[in-house]
Amino acid sequence: MNTTSIRNLGIIAHIDAGKTTLSERILWKTGEVHKVGEVHNGAATMDHMDQERERGITIASAATQAQWHDHRLTLIDTPGHIDFSIEVERSLRVLDGAVAVFCAVAGVQPQSETVWRQAKRYNVPLIAFVNKMDRTGANFERVRHQLRDMLGANPVATVVPLGSEAQFDGLVDLVEQTVWAWDEKGTPTTRDWSAEEHLHYAAARETLVEQIAEVDDVVMEAYLSQTVSTQLLKEGLRRATLAQRAVVVLAGTAFKNKGIENLLNAVVDYLPSPMDRTNVIGHTDAGDEQIAPNRNEPVAGLVFKTVEHQHGNLAFVRLYRGTLKTGDKVLNPRTGDVLRVGRLAVVKVDSTEDVAQAFAGDIVGVVGWKNARTGDTIADERHVVELERLNIAEPVLAWRLVAKNGAEMSKMVAALDKLCRDDPSLRLTSDTESGDPVLWGMGELHLDVTTERVRRDTGAVFSVGEPMVAYRERPTVASGLVDEKLAKQTGGKGQYARVVVVMEPRNDDQIVFVDEIVGGVVGKEFIQATEKGVREALTNGVHEYPVVGATVRLVDGDTHNVDSSAQAFQRAGFLAAKSALARAQSVVLEPIMAVTVDTPSAYVGDVVSDAQRRSGVLVNLDDNGSVGQIVFNAPLAQLGGYTTSLRSVSQGRASSSMVLHGYEPQRVAPKTGLRA
């Protein structure tokens, strides 16, 4: 397949907008599945896990291949819930373009805004699909305006919906000048505009041409000389989409199978192929290089997902450069492992199909790599590059997991280890006091889904302890000189080290060690040992939380030519950092979440007072008399059970999302802390 005929695309949406149904219909229309499963009764093909079926949400991204008009589409499913935003991030990294699905009734919702912004950050060209045109209250124009007003997009509607709500049954295509209609089974018919329709839609088409001319010089020139052909218009719209100067807006109903063909055509016409990706950068020892999708150059690929599969581990790789063949050897720069490409597989809806090779631009599964993790690069051994790692949010919430007995504990931990490898936004540590495993994640739902999965997959019996919040601590003033001398002379070889350090607060979250030793009073090896001790001390500060934002300068020291050792300097560094931190008035920081709530206006007052009870600080309140949006910042420690209480406050009608806003000095003393 020619690389220009490849479309690696994602479907992004607010939960419930219809992403799963749409993915399903795309696979049906492209002939990949023969029976349409309904999300209603939990049979959607793209949802792999039972749990997802039950919850009706799509958690894990699956990459599935389909064909449309001589083009190969690889559909990368992305989750709607922000708690799984790592899944969104990783798919945005590897896909080239995306379809953003909006509900024609609910319009732009908070999570669609978040995901939209993420897509912008990764420079992903987008097409908007206004779904659920069949529902009562559907309003295409309103969503189009929201795209402009709320998301700052330049929406270009290429269709006019015919009929609305239950009567929605067709689309006028303003580009091709055709009319589409669908019967009850979703079978389309299409015809050219009649003379009457030419007159009727002339103004709408003119507006479309003007809109494109405004963002594309070639179309502008043709427009001025009155020579805009359909082909030229499509090319202009493609350029504008790729440059993110326009977003094509389409309409339809996935559920009733209308408008899917137009969307697929638009994917082919307007969304980028891997050849259009010019922003992929690789780091090498000789500096950064641009990774062009050339088949004949050294291999560079990104592992963006690893899953357990019936034939062993399956690593999904997006190949950015080169050719990967079975039998090849590639390097994982993170681990230094040389990996053999045993089996290559392409994932279809119900099967995996072996292939002998994969090329730049392809997404391919590699079977059998045990230690490859999400975010790893694979590279040619003779030309090592490392691709940008995924932008992974720090886990902020943790649950202590208490297994019923030793056997249950082993089952549980083995399953959790596996899940942590697949999802880098999960982390497993252990509680220093009880020794219980502690699972960190990005929020309640994330932890809930993960532990449920462990229960279901392994049958392990365990309970969940009090939720714990990831506190940190940070120095607030300079410590002044701290002189730490370790001198033990108890017969035989002694232990001698002296270090003088200063600790200063930083504006960022880094720990920086600066060697300011002059005249070699402390040797290189001992300086390294001191740094090790300093860093070790700061993993667990005076309040027993990890320390962030400190510069430690080693300004002086002393060595004994017999009694000094690396060990002694490490110990001295450790002790010096501990006392410097105490003198630098280290304070506890807590995670503050930005919470966005959408609710019918009737509940705005209750939502706000509930937020205030949780020490929330109001950031924004919009209320148009029918629906309201409230944004507030609150300490994570005060947000336990928030979704449940929101549901009861609003009789289930409000929805919320939360993301980490930042760390701030603690307002209320912690009930339970977490010792990392």
Closest to ligand GDP by CB, 57 or 529: 57
Per CB under 6 A, residues contacting ligand GDP are 13, 15-21, 39-40, 56-58, 80, 131-132, 134-135, 253-255
From the CB of 40, what's the least distance to ligand GDP, in Å? 5
Pick 41 or 231: Cβ nearer ligand GDP: 41
Q: Please, what is the minimum distance in Å from the beta carbon of residue 272 to ligand GDP? A: 23
- Min. distance of Cβ 419 from ligand GDP in angstroms? 22
Separation of alpha carbons 238 and 203, rounded Å = 22
In the bound complex, what is the minimum distance in angstroms from residue 395's beta carbon to ligand GDP? 24
Q: How far is the CB of 11 from ligand GDP (least distance, A)?
A: 8
Strands (E), 183-246: 188-192
Q: What is the C-alpha to C-alpha distance for residues 500 and 481, in angstroms, rounded to an integer? A: 7
Residue 120 makes CB contacts below 8 A (sequence gap 6+) with: 244
Q: Rounded to the nearest 5°, which phi and psi values hold at 474?
A: -150, 135
Smaller CB distance to ligand GDP: residue 84 or 440?
84
Output the smallest distance, CB 19 to ligand GDP, in A.
Answer: 3
Tell me the closest approach of the beta carbon of residue 657 to ligand GDP, in angstroms.
14
Distance between CA atoms of residues 386 and 472, nearest Å: 31
Measured torsion, CA atoms of residues 270, 32, 101, 153, in degrees rounded to the nearest 10: -10
Residue 171 or 674: the one with the smaller Cβ distance to ligand GDP is 171
> Degrees (nearest 5) of the Cα angle 664, 668, 673?
80
Q: 3-state DSSP helix/strand/coil percent for the chain, to nearest 5?
A: 30, 35, 35
* Whole-angstrom distance, CA of residue 356 vs CA of residue 342: 10
* Nearer of residues 57 and 280 to ligand GDP, judged by Cβ: 57
Q: Which tokens in the block code for residue 266?
A: 């638009």
- The string over 87-117, giving b where at least 16 C-beta atoms fall within 10 Å of a residue's C-beta and e elsewhere, is bbbbbbbbbbbbbbbbbbbbbbbbbbbbbbe
Tell me whether residue 7 or residue 258 sits nearer to ligand GDP (CB atom).
258
CB of 443 to ligand GDP, least distance (A): 18
Question: 15 or 92, CB closer to ligand GDP?
Answer: 15
CB of 388: closest distance to ligand GDP in angstroms? 28
- Secondary structure of 339-352 in HEC code, one letter for each residue: EECCEEEEECCCCE
Of the pair 89, 134, the CB lying nearest ligand GDP is at 134
Question: Where would I find the beta strands (DSSP E) of 470-548?
Answer: 472-474, 482-488, 495-505, 511-515
DSSP 575-644: HHHHHHHHHTT-EEEEEEEEEEEEEEGGGHHHHHHHHHHTT-EEEEEEE-SSEEEEEEEEEGGG-TTHHH
Q: Identify which of residues 33 and 542 has a Cβ nearer to ligand GDP in the complex.
A: 33
- Residue 38: CB minimum distance to ligand GDP, A: 6
**Closer Cβ to ligand GDP, 16 or 610, answer by number:** 16
How many C-beta atoms lie closer than 10 Å to residue 159's C-beta? 26
HSE value, Cβ hemisphere, 13 Å, CA-based, for 350: 10
Identify the sign of the CA torsion 630, 635, 641, 645.
Answer: negative
Q: Which is nearer to ligand GDP, 254 or 548 (CB)?
A: 254
Q: How far is CA 365 from CA 325, 338, 340, 387, 631, in A?
A: 12, 17, 13, 18, 41
Minimum distance from residue 25 beta carbon to ligand GDP (Å)? 9
Q: What are phi and psi of 199, to 5 degrees?
A: -70, -45
**CB-nearer residue toward ligand GDP: 248 or 251:** 251
∠ CA(660), CA(661), CA(664), 5° rounding?
110
**Shortest reach from residue 256's CB to ligand GDP, in Å:** 6
CB of 426 to ligand GDP, least distance (A): 22
CA angle 218, 219, 220 (to 5 degrees): 90
* Closest separation in Å from C-beta 236 to ligand GDP: 30
The answer to whether 486 and 499 have CB atoms below 8 angstroms apart is: no
Q: How far apart are CB 47 and ligand GDP at their closest, in Å? A: 8
Q: Which is nearer to ligand GDP, 115 or 339 (CB)?
A: 115
In single-letter form, the type of residue at position 106 comes to A
DSSP per-residue string spanning 56-100: T---S--EEEEEETTEEEEEEE--SSGGGHHHHHHHHHH-SEEEE
73 vs 254, beta carbon nearer ligand GDP: 254
Kind of pairing, strands 511-515 and 550-558? parallel
| C-beta closer to ligand GDP: residue 39 or 271 | 39
Euclidean distance between CA atoms 369 and 335, whole angstroms: 12
The C-alpha atoms of residue 566 and residue 497 are separated, in whole angstroms, by: 9
